[in-house]
Each structure stands twice: as structure tokens, then as C-alpha cells.
Chains A and B, each alone.
Chain A
Amino acid sequence: KAGVTQTPRYLIKTRGQQVTLSCSPISGHRSVSWYQQTPGQGLQFLFEYFSETQRNKGNFPGRFSGRQFSNSRSEMNVSTLELGDSALYLCASRPRGERGDEQFFGPGTRLTVL
């Protein structure tokens, strides 16, 4: 079974631009979560989608948005990029969205904002 894939792997943007990141979960997994990871901050939860519906959202500004398609693939969008948005963005999928489900992470997209 193929793992979680994320595209692109690396991205360089300038302040004020917008960016779209893509995540394809493991086949059959219906839940997709997005995280931002920066040195010293750990993983910060952005949002989770389950069956095309956002069912939980972290404490990020409205510039961060996402969506999930009927095939469970997910995208996240960041508008009006700021220098502080430079980070590793990780996507994770899990099968049923139940409490004991482990999350399977993709390799991440490293975003650099200049």
C-alpha cells in the first residue's frame, strides 16, 4: 500500500504570495490532518478533514484554509504569506477517525517565505 504523499516537497515563495499544498492519503483513509512544524514549536495542528468536512480547526488565522475532495485527497492554502509561515507542513491520514487510530504522516512540504 502506498504511503501518504505530499506535493510539492519544497517551495520558495515571497511575502504576500499565496500557496497551495497537496496531500494524498493512504488508500481507504478518510481522515486527513494538517500540521505546521517549526523548530522548538513542535507540531501545531491546523485542521482535520473527514469525508470532505472540516471537523476540527486549530488556532491559526483565516489565511490558512483547506479542503478535502471526494477521493479523500486534501489541499491546504495559505494566502498573503508572511515570513513566519516558513515551516514544514505535514499531512497525516488515518483510517476511520476513531480515537485509537494512529496517524500516518507524509514526508512534508518545506515552505520558505522570503
Chain B
Amino acid sequence: GQNIDQPTEMTATEGAIVQINCTYQTSGFNGLFWYQQHAGEAPTFLSYNVLDGLEEKGRFSSFLSRSKGYSYLLLKELQMKDSASYLCAVRGDSNYQLIWGAGTKLIIKP
């Protein structure tokens, strides 16, 4: 079957760095997405990786290793507003359907 795993919850301190991991097993691979979802709001796009390596976008970076079925989202200089759920999603052997992880709830403490 197809499966995406990410930690349920993580806690970090304001100003610090946190890494959220995502491992996947899918029957094919056509890209991996990270989304941010604040409580009560819709998910918003953070990053897209289709090739191995690191993609950097300001305070956020996303890494992909296709051979290991592994990705991580790195958040630097954490701010209180980064408290949210972070969703990992993989487009498998279909160009159309995304398979979603259950999300990682990130709690930022002062």
C-alpha cells in the first residue's frame, strides 16, 4: 500500500531551528509537497521537490532523497506564527492524486 509517515507533534523554542521529517512509500513518484495549515484555516503551499537535494526559500528549506523515500522541512529562526500543522504530500504514480501524511503539529514556545 501507499503510506506517508511524519511525527504527530513537535515542540521547539522561538528563534531556534526545527526539522520535520517525512518518509513515504508510494508506487511511483512525481513530486513531494509541503503545506502549512494554521488551526481553522486552509493549507497553504510551502515547497515542492521533485529532484534530490535542498530547496531553500527564506527561513524554510525542504530536502528530498528519492532513493531513501525521505524528505524534511527545515524551519529556521522560528517565530510564534510558525505554530501550525505541517503536511507532507506525495504525488505517486498518478499525475493527479496527492497522498497526504496526517500532518505534524508544531508548537513554538517563547
**Which residues of A are in contact with B by a Cβ distance under 8 Å?**
4, 31, 33, 35, 40-45, 48, 50, 55-56, 58, 90, 97-100, 102-108
Contact = CB atoms under 8 A, between A and B. Distances in A.
A105 B42 CA distance: 6
B48 to A, nearest CB: 6
Given A99-B50, A108-B42, A48 B97 contact: yes
Interface of B: 30-31, 33, 41-45, 48, 50, 87, 89, 91, 94-103
Contacts of B45: 102-104
B103 A45 contact: no
Contacts of A40: 102
A112 B79 CA distance: 34
Contact of B103 (A42, A56, A104, A106): A42
Given A105-B42, A108-B42, A98 B102 contact: no
